[in-house]
A and B are shown apart, each in its own frame.
Chain A
Amino acid sequence: MEINAQGIYYKDLNDIIRKAIRNGEENFILRNVNGQRYIADGISKKISMEVYGVPGQDLGAFMKGPRVVVHGNAQDGVGNTMDVGKIVVEGMAGDVVGYGMRGGRIHIKGDAGYRVGIHMKAYQDKIPVIVIGGKAGDFLGEYMAGGVIILLGMFSQDAAKPIAGIFMGTGMHGGVIYVRGEVDPHQLGFGLIPKELDGEDQKNLKIYLKEYCDDLDIDLRKVLSVPFKKVVPFSHRPYGNMYAY
């Protein structure tokens, strides 16, 4: 189903989509999207959606199944608390991507904003993964409790900028952040240090990146041509000693 979203208020647009899904529609193409919020929000079916334009806030929030491809930039709150499914952004993404994400994949080709992957967490067999092809802002993976963030720094529009902002992984108590190339330790949150990858890391990284490269038509070999560093929590209870009982 193809929808021209131009001038359609977000609520009306999402109504159309929900109705179509109820009627068995599984494939959507949305054209001329500009700022409509909550696209694919809370949808629990394995639908496919192609978005042309700039979707608004909370794209794919709480979603549990769909595959959404954005042919352009996305705004803030992509994949908020999402559970299952995939969001591919061919351009840049805004702040707070994948907040509290419990599963699924978010693949961003370009830069991402602040607090990406904040408090994402793995649960049971679900391992959320965010791959950022460009650079990230401050607080990447802040109080991350599980899952994987991969930061490539390759497709940024700002060559001069460091690969990530400051306070990366602050309060992290689970999960792992892989960074292509080097991380300056001063960018990391308290108690964290960049570490070398082990065999298991290499294996998983390759699996995640293969899928990412396939989605975005990127040469995997080129991505893997530079060694990665990882950031993992120094403790599962990094603040355990802070309290007086």
Chain B
Amino acid sequence: MKKVYAREDVCIGCRLCEIACIVEHSISKDIIRAFKQEEKRPARNVVEECGPVSFSVHCRHCDEPPCVQVCISGAIVKDPATGIVNHIPEKCVGCWSCVMACPYGVIKRDTDRGKVIKCDLCPDRDLPACVSACPNEALLYEEK
């Protein structure tokens, strides 16, 4: 399946991917409203920086997703057709089991809501928002 791959060698650590993610998952999908008027939600990727090294971590939508295995409420399911590991917030009870299980550490706790938040590969878009926002093509959306 197509996944978001991060190129560490050309990630410039600008974090525009996070901003794009937040905007895409906002109510208004308008950057200024999303940041200034809506409740702020975390981005669904994690940009890591360590000295000159930076890269963005994205849900791998694993073949055998540990998050799906541990989810006690059935809130995380892997769509057998698309391969996308989806999170259904209504079902999430905030047990954080998936946070514990995800080896990429890319499922975040949204403590305000008591639920986790994770990448959904932007179902409304051809290209995930983070990928199109990356100014340096450090994020690739492709089949490997």
Do any beta carbons of A and B sit within 8 angstroms of each other in the complex? no
Partner-B contacts on A (CB < 8 A): none
Partner-A contacts on B (CB < 8 A): none
